[in-house]
Amino acid sequence: MLTGAQAAIPRSDYGIESGAGLSASRRWKNARFTLEYRGRFRRYAEQSLFNGTDQFLNLAYSRFLSRYWTLDLKEIAGTATLANGEFTYLPLTSTDLYALPTNDLFDNRTNYLQSRVDLDWQKSLRLSFDFGGEGFLVRRQSLALAGLNGYGARAGLAYRLTRRQTVSATYQHIYFDFQHTFGNARIETAALGYSVALTRRLDLGFKLGGSRVDTTGLTQVSIDPEIAAIIGRDIAIVSFARVLYVPLAEARLTQRFTRSSLTLDYSSGITPGNGVYLTSRETSGTVSFTYTGVHRLSTSFNAGYNQLSTIGQTLPTYTNLQGGGGLTYRLFADTYLGLRYDYRHYTTQNLLFQKDSNRVSLGLAFSAGDAPLAIW
């Protein structure tokens, strides 16, 4: 069983890591298929808890059914063991991927899967509609951590005001059902969006709305001292059922340069949590910079902030500070030098759980092709 005290014990180690990846795409007259895969295997000298393999698979298929209709299918699947270093630097465009373990508290085996389908109707040059659905699941090895089953359905429209400006409206229904514990949530969300190309290389987009959250679960409550003296317990576990209204906000600013880009993100909405924190309100902000050299060098840097406030559970606020950077440098032919560093500081408000995590990797990589090696 995992506890905050156990997780907070300082540990450090060194080891070896090997991995492989594949990025591929294929176009037909009316369709396109893309594949991204990466896999890693780690073995440490002393801390066998860190040993293991991480696998990630991303599939996307798009097909033009007719002049006005397009079908999009997406599949994400994988397994991960570390809470730091794999998905901590994902952009906030991935916040609707509920299965990805981006805020986990513990280094624990986590398996995840998410399937998504969208049907787009381009009614005119200006007006388009989108109808879609998804299903997702998360399975965590420790029985002390809750797994997740869920599904969602959505509909939206977008209207181009000008060549540079677009407005949108969306409605979404999401359902969370948690494993190993009693709890579920139904979320109804409506939002309005606006995006504009301020210049040829500067884009701004934002979304505002709200969610109605109907959630049930278990929480701890304090027992009256007189009763506690009789039964010998001062804490009780009780069920709860609550309906809350939570605001939603998203914003993104992207500046593109000749060989680099800078992105600022902000997001506030509902998340299924991390196995300890269940249905929660999440507030996030990130800044990321990427540079891709013509021949030899690629580099990226990122920093972010996350905060989880539970809806129903009596848990303190969880905060997460993270940052990192990496580079790949072509030494010769298809051989690259790769370096990456990731840092996380995550804690609960009353310091029941506090952890600092540093991860450094250095090694050689091999990749065929003329483009610089991607930073994973």
**What does the DSSP assignment read for 171-199?**
EEEEEEEESSSSEEEEEEEEEEEEEEESS
pLDDT at 199 over 90: yes
pTM of the model: 0.83
- State the average pLDDT for the chain: 84
pLDDT band at 262 (very low <50, low <70, confident <90, very high): very high
> Of 138, 231, 242, 140, which is closest to residue 185 (Cα–Cα)?
242
pLDDT of residue 169: 97
Q: Which residue has the tokens 């591929």?
A: 24
pLDDT of residue 171: 97
Task: Give mean pLDDT, residues 27-48.
Answer: 87
As given in the structure block, the two tokens for residue 43 are 């073995």
> Of 112, 87, 108, which is closest to residue 7 (Cα–Cα)?
108
Structural domains in the chain, sorted by start: 21-366 (2.40.160)
As given in the structure block, the two tokens for residue 109 are 């085996």
What H or E segment, with its residue span, contains residue 169? strand 165-178
pLDDT of residue 3: 33
Q: Which residue has the tokens 């181009």?
A: 160
pLDDT at 11 over 80: no
> Of 218, 191, 220, which is closest to residue 207 (Cα–Cα)?
191
End-to-end distance of the chain based on CA atoms, in angstroms?
Answer: 31
Task: Give mean pLDDT, residues 229-239.
Answer: 71
Which residue type, as a one-letter code, is found at position 223?
I
pLDDT of residue 130: 96
pLDDT band at 9 (very low <50, low <70, confident <90, very high): very low
Give tens-digit pLDDT for 283-309: 999 999 998 876 688 888 989 898 999
pLDDT of residue 7: 41
pLDDT of residue 177: 94
Phi, then psi, of 163 in degrees rounded to 5: -65, -25
Contact 348/355 with Cβ under 8 angstroms? no
pLDDT of residue 5: 34
pLDDT at 195 over 70: yes
Give tens-digit pLDDT for 149-158: 999 999 999 9
Lowest-confidence region among 30-44, 51-65, 263-277, 290-304: 290-304
As given in the structure block, the two tokens for residue 123 are 């009614």
pLDDT of residue 354: 73
Burial (CB count <10 Å: 0-12, 13-18, 19+), residue 48: exposed
Tell which wins on pLDDT, 221 or 128. 128
Burial (CB count <10 Å: 0-12, 13-18, 19+), residue 170: middle
The b/e string for 10-32 (b: 16+ C-beta within 10 A; e otherwise) is: eeeeeeeeebeeeeeeeeeeeee
Q: How far apart are CA 52 and CA 48, in angstroms?
A: 8
What H or E segment, with its residue span, contains residue 125? none
pLDDT band at 92 (very low <50, low <70, confident <90, very high): very low
Helix (H, G, I), strand (E, B) or coil at 226: helix
State the CB neighbour count (10 A cutoff) for residue 271.
20
Lowest-confidence region among 73-87, 190-204, 229-243: 229-243
As given in the structure block, the two tokens for residue 292 are 């891709």
310: left (phi over 0), alpha (psi -120 to 50) or beta: beta
Phi, then psi, of 49 in degrees rounded to 5: -60, -30
pLDDT of residue 226: 66
pLDDT at 373 over 60: no
Helices (H), the chain: 4-7, 225-231
